[in-house]
């Protein structure tokens, strides 16, 4: 069920960027988890700006490729707390599991071949 248009997905991408950039301060991430959050925020911003959809500026990356990148990141974020050994209940573990799940749900609900894919 693909109910999110590319336009709405773009708005959610900018919200995601803000969450990654603000999370270290708002939920107390430090060290590597904070660095990773800042990095993901910047990378997600660049990906969004370069994607060929209404929220993009340069429109170099096809929306389908954008979606594949987000799927890979979602899976990696869900696995990250276990690979990195984040303790149960830690802010980093909760944050990355939640963000991975949210990205995955957004991926599931987005119409990556939507009609307004190329509109401005």
pLDDT tens for residues 61-103? Answer: 999 999 999 999 999 999 999 999 999 999 999 999 999 999 9
Question: What is the pTM (predicted TM-score) of this model?
Answer: 0.92
pLDDT in tens, 14-39: 999 999 999 999 999 999 999 999 99
Quick check: 119 pLDDT over 60? no
24: in domain? yes
Say if CB 50 and CB 10 are below 8 A apart.
no
117: in domain? no
Between 115 and 51, the higher pLDDT residue: 51
The CA distance from 27 to 8, in Å, is: 26
Number of domains within the chain: 1
118: in domain? no
Burial track 92-106 (b if 16+ CB lie within 10 A, e otherwise): bbebbbebbebbbeb
pLDDT grade for 115, boundaries at 50, 70 and 90? low
120: in domain? no
The CA distance from 56 to 45, in Å, is: 10
Say if CB 74 and CB 68 are below 8 A apart.
no
DSSP letters, the chain, are ---B-HHHHHHHHHHHHHHHHHHHHHHT--HHHHHHHHHHHHHHHHHHHTEESTT-SS--EEHHHHHHHHHHHHHHHHHHHHHHTPPTT-HHHHHHHHHHHHHHHHHHHB-TT-GGGG--
35: in domain? yes
pLDDT grade for 114, boundaries at 50, 70 and 90? confident
62: in domain? yes
- Residue-range definition of the domain harbouring residue 74: 6-110
């Amino acid at each position: 069920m693909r109910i999110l248009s590319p336009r709405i997905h773009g708005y959610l991408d900018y919200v995601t960027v803000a969450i990654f950039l603000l999370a270290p301060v708002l939920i107390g991430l430090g060290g590597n988890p904070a660095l990773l959050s800042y990095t993901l925020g910047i990378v997600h911003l660049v990906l969004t700006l370069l994607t060929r959809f209404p929220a993009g500026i340069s429109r170099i990356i096809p929306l389908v490729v954008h979606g594949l990148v987000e799927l890979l990141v979602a899976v990696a974020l869900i696995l990250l707390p276990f690979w990195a050994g984040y303790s149960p209940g830690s802010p980093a573990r909760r944050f990355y599991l939640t963000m991975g799940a949210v990205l995955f749900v957004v991926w599931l609900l987005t119409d990556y071949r939507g009609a307004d894919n190329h509109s401005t």
